[in-house]
Amino acid sequence: MGKDPLQEYLKKFGDNLKNIREAKGISQRSLASSCTIDHSDISKIEKGERNITILTVLELANALEVKPKKLLDFEID
Quick: pLDDT tens for 14-23. Answer: 999 999 999 9
β strands within 1-77, DSSP E: none
Shortest CA distance to 68 belongs to which of 50, 51, 55?
Answer: 55
Classify residue 60: in a domain, yes or no. yes
Classify residue 9: in a domain, yes or no. yes
User: Quick check: 1 pLDDT over 70?
Assistant: no
Classify residue 53: in a domain, yes or no. yes
- pLDDT value at position 2? 60
State the Cα angle at 66 between 14 and 44, rounded to 5°: 20
Q: State the total domains in the chain.
A: 1
CA 27, 61, 34, 56: dihedral to nearest 10 degrees? Answer: -110
Classify residue 71: in a domain, yes or no. no
